[in-house]
Amino acid sequence: MQRMILPESEIKAAYPDYKDRTLIFGNCFLYIIGEAHGPFKIAKTSRPLSRFQSLSIHTHLDIRLWQLSRLPVGIDRQIQSRVHRSLEDYAIKRDWFDISLQRAIGAVAAENPLGQIVDLAGLTYERMLKMDVEHWGKMGILTLNAERS
């Protein structure tokens, strides 16, 4: 877990729903997955690599993992809901939105302004399989459940 010490006023400005005095970021991420030109899925998970693997295996689309944004403990659902509300005019189905990658990144940044961003630059499933666990740690994702057999 990552603890961020900031003035309480800064925390409240960034996350009005947050009730604690210390901002703690756990191992839950908001992810952006999709084809190069959309649509994009924006959702939360504590297992981003496993989630990407599952989605990649079960679709014919050439989806990529574009970005992860670490979420504060206790308000992860509220942040995801706010992102989805901000994009509701572009909703296709549940967590999928017909938007540009820039709009997806902007919506996540607007609702999770202090969350650590991991830019994965359009990671493909094939490239993910070739990376070792040490690489994921260097990227700030720790080993976050890069399940390998």
Span 39-89, pLDDT tens digits: 999 999 988 888 888 898 888 888 999 999 989 888 889 999 999 999 999
- Which whole number is the average pLDDT over 10-21? 79
DSSP string, 48-99: HHHHHHHHHHT-SS--EEEEEEEEETT-HHHHHHHHHHHTGGGEEETTEE--
Share of the chain above pLDDT 90, in %: 37
Q: Where are the domains of the chain?
A: 2-138
Whole-number pLDDT of residue 81:
95
Whole-number pLDDT of residue 43:
96
Whole-number pLDDT of residue 147:
37
Read off the tokens for 143: 């080993």
Whole-number pLDDT of residue 69:
92
- Residue 117 pLDDT level (bands cut at 50, 70, 90): confident
Residues 6+ apart with CB under 8 A from 37: 100, 101
Read off the tokens for 34: 């999709």
Q: Regarding beta strands 96-97 and 91-93, do their DSSP bridges make them parallel or antiparallel, or are they unpaired?
A: antiparallel
- Which whole number is the average pLDDT over 95-104? 95
